[in-house]
Amino acid sequence: MIATRASRALTLPLAQAAHRMLGPRGCLLTFHRAAPAKFWEKLPNRDFYLDIEFIDRLLAHLAAQKWDVVTIGEALRRSGSAGDNSRYVNFSIDDCYRDAFDLVAPVFRRHNAPLTLFVTTGIPDGTASLWPIGLEYTLLERDEVLLDGQVIRLSKPEQRRATYQRIAAKWDGPDPSRYYAAFCAENRVDMDAMHWAHAITWEMLEVLAHDRLIEIGAHTVSHARISSLTSEQALAELEGSRLRLNERLGINVQHFAFPYGRSGDCGPRDFALAREAGFLSAATTRKGLVRGGQDRFSLPRNTVNGSHRSVAAMEMHLLGLTGIAARIAGRV
């Protein structure tokens, strides 16, 4: 606690001085899910969630520090305008689960701040596999699970986290849903009920689409890694998600975010395909800041990790330091 306070006392004034020197810029931040602080502690894959109280504190901090929270559309307008002198932040949620509707949107409304949702249309359509979520909640809710006939006993949150990491690493590959289906059969998990306990629904998206603070973008149909597909398959994922959202919600989706989003997951061919699919922009998860003249089809975004629950840690993103560190370490 003392260390945290000391680092806060050191980081915040330094950050304020650096902000004045760095000048106009945009910082796009992205995350997936949110949870109440008490529940967050218990989650087997808690880095995937932001503590909702932290989001509330962060929005208050940004307002106090005179950062504008904007949509992707507005971020593009500002980065393309030579006279723009502002500092702005965009928040986007990828995939979209029901907590985007239940927990996150109400906090953004309270701060009168816009929020972008990049929807994987297979989630509300019930066709995308939510295996990481299904695995996580089975580990959370049970005292023991079966894996290939072996019993794994679970009592403490650390055990559940280690087990999640181990199984997810094993399943993550070309066909994780095959492992997940076998796991559900072995543990009598109702896959359909699990899906709808977490998926955002079209009814929720209809409400959100009518909210002036919500901007809806696309994030493929099946959450495919675009770089691993043929051009035809990739275009079907890109265009298919845009057309499905337009048709189901009566909107005109303009922005896209690549699943996974690192340099191995999407490259120059895919940026061109996003343009061909009718989008005005595409976002990656390569860290960094948006400056004047930013290429619209490879927007940098900074993933906010659930464990980084301090405003001081966020300053590293706002200053562009996480992007510099990632480039030095070769993690792009």
Q: How far is the CB of 188 from Zn ion (least distance, A)?
A: 28
Q: Is 33 or 309 the residue whose CB approaches Zn ion more closely?
A: 33
Q: Is 201 or 303 the residue whose CB approaches Zn ion more closely?
A: 303
Q: Which residue is nearest to Zn ion (CB)?
A: 94
E-strand spans in the chain?
25-31, 33-35, 49-51, 68-69, 87-95, 115-119, 144-147, 150-153, 214-218, 255-257, 281-283, 302-303
Q: How far is the CB of 175 from Zn ion (least distance, A)?
A: 18
Q: How far is the CB of 223 from Zn ion (least distance, A)?
A: 6
Q: How far is the CB of 311 from Zn ion (least distance, A)?
A: 25
If one asks whether residue 99 binds Zn ion (CB under 5 A), the answer comes out as no
State the number of CA atoms in the 13 A half-sphere of 205 facing the CB.
Answer: 27
Q: Is 117 or 311 the residue whose CB approaches Zn ion more closely?
A: 117
Q: Contact at 8 Å (CB) between 235 and 253?
A: no
**Size of site (CB under 5 A) for Zn ion:** 3
Q: Contact at 8 Å (CB) between 28 and 282?
A: no
Gyration radius of the chain's alpha carbons: 20
Q: Would you mind telling me the total number of residues written for the chain in this entry?
A: 332
Q: Is 219 or 317 the residue whose CB approaches Zn ion more closely?
A: 219
Applying CB under 5 A, which part among 35-43, 80-88, 94-102, 229-237 lies near Zn ion? Answer: 94-102
Applying CB under 5 A, which part among 93-101, 136-144, 275-283, 289-297 lies near Zn ion? Answer: 93-101
Q: Phi, psi (5° rounding) for residue 55?
A: -60, -40
- 67, 78, 95, 285: residue in contact with Zn ion (rule CB under 5 A): 95
Q: Contact at 8 Å (CB) between 68 and 89?
A: yes
Q: Is 104 or 312 the residue whose CB approaches Zn ion more closely?
A: 104
What residues numbered 224-283 form the site for Zn ion, per CB under 5 A? Answer: 259
Q: Is 132 or 259 the residue whose CB approaches Zn ion more closely?
A: 259
If one asks whether residue 94 binds Zn ion (CB under 5 A), the answer comes out as yes
Q: Contact at 8 Å (CB) between 128 and 122?
A: yes
Q: How far is the CB of 112 from Zn ion (least distance, A)?
A: 27
Q: Is 35 or 123 the residue whose CB approaches Zn ion more closely?
A: 123
* End-to-end CA, the chain: 32
Q: What number of other Cβ atoms are within 10 A of residue 138's Cβ?
A: 21
Residue 158: C-alpha distances to residues 42, 44, 163, 216 (Å): 9, 8, 9, 36
Q: Contact at 8 Å (CB) between 157 and 238?
A: no
Q: What string marks each residue from 15 to 54 as x (binds Zn ion by CB under 5 A) or -?
A: ----------------------------------------
Q: Which residues bind Zn ion (CB under 5 A)?
A: 94-95, 259
